[in-house]
Amino acid sequence: MSVIQCETFYEDVPTLDEVKHEISSIVGLSEIKKQLESILEKIIDAEKDAADGLRVIPPKPFHMVFVGSNGTGKSTVARIIAKLFYLAGALASYTVTEMQGNQKMKDAEGGLLLVNIDEEDPINSNTLEEIIAAMDEGDSSIVLAGNYKALNQYMKSNLKLYKRFSARLQFDDLTCEDLAMILEKKASIKGKDGLLCGFELDSSCSTDSISRTIAELTPQNLRSLLNAHLLDQMLIEAKKVAMPGEKTISLRDLEMGIQNGADIYKNLLNL
């Protein structure tokens, strides 16, 4: 099952400092953060060499496999990698085009193409051939993303695709503490893009208390299935139960929001 929609991400032209901040802001994924930081340091070193008059040959874009459940940060990391490759001169664009593997092939336009694989609805043969052709052309970076079962089954039956990938990143499920930290970050977003729209969490909603509440009120199989995708609905539900006239969300409000949000997804997914 996938909850990701197809889209292309466009953002302001990135800088090394901005990308460094994005990497440091990632919650969890410690090993992946180390790999991203290593790529960043290589780009910084290359810029120093170029400034000293040394000839720097831009690297070629390479293709990767992202293994992990929904909501573990695969799209976030894909956007960071696209920016790193762009800053390194490996890609002409830093945009990320995202598509489901069972859909018609999308043009990555010199950026990164993120192909989500669903075990119940895999890549059709025509799209597969187009993906392989795009990989061989070398203008874009292709990332296949999905859970272990979907990718393992698919790679075993498509060896000519498998051998074209140079790296595999493992996205572990988020812990309850990770989810609490991400929920706090989401709640802190102000303005029209914020989920709470004028509300904020009060001081009783600490990382520890939120983490405990998530652990107590959400089943582990639901967290493993959706990870951070759970959190938006929980904040929306918490806002609904807040006292009229209040501008803060208490821990009790948040507990009810977490419970109601979990119930919505359990009913939706028949868990």
pLDDT value at position 3?
A: 38
Q: What is the pLDDT of residues 225-245, one digit of tens each?
A: 999 999 999 999 999 998 777
Whether the per-residue pLDDT at 9 is higher than 70: the answer is no
- The pLDDT value recorded for residue 4 is 39
DSSP calls for 128-155? HHHHHHHHHH-SSEEEEEE-HHHHHHHH
For residue 172, pLDDT beyond 60: yes
Please tell me which residue, 55 or 263, carries the higher pLDDT value: 263
For residues 148 and 257, membership in a common domain is answered with no
Q: Is the same domain home to 165 and 198?
A: no
Whether 105 and 40 share a structural domain: yes
Which among 171, 189, 222 is the end of a domain? 171
How far apart (Å, rounded) are the C-alpha atoms in residues 140 and 89?
Answer: 12
At 150, list the tokens: 């979907």
Whole-angstrom Cα distance, residue 263 to residue 269?
Answer: 10
- Choosing from 113, 137, 171, the residue where a domain stops is 171
212 touches 256 (CB < 8 A): no
State mean pLDDT over 212-234. 96
Q: Domain for residue 124, yes or no? A: yes
Q: Are residues 201 and 157 in the same domain?
A: no
Q: How far is CA 239 from CA 148, 201, 254, in A?
A: 35, 10, 8
In a domain, 1, yes or no: no
Same domain, 48 and 124: yes
Q: Looking at residue 5, what is its pLDDT? A: 40
Q: How far apart are CA 65 and CA 183, in angstroms?
A: 27
Q: What pLDDT is attached to residue 11?
A: 60
Please determine, for residue 123, whether its predicted confidence score (pLDDT) is greater than 80: no
The share of the chain scoring above pLDDT 90, in percent, equals 56
Same domain, 195 and 87: no
Q: Is the pLDDT of residue 1 over 50?
A: no
Q: Which domain holds residue 208?
A: 176-269
* The pair of three-digit structure tokens given for residue 36, joined into one six-digit string: 């991203």
- Domain boundary residue, one of 153, 171, 189: 171
What is the total count of domains within the chain?
2
Are 85 and 40 members of one domain? yes
- Between helix 16-25 and helix 30-51 the angle, nearest 10°, is 170
pLDDT surpassing 50 at residue 147: yes
Contact residues for 11 (Cβ-Cβ < 8 A; gap 6+): 79, 94
Q: Are residues 144 and 192 in the same domain?
A: no
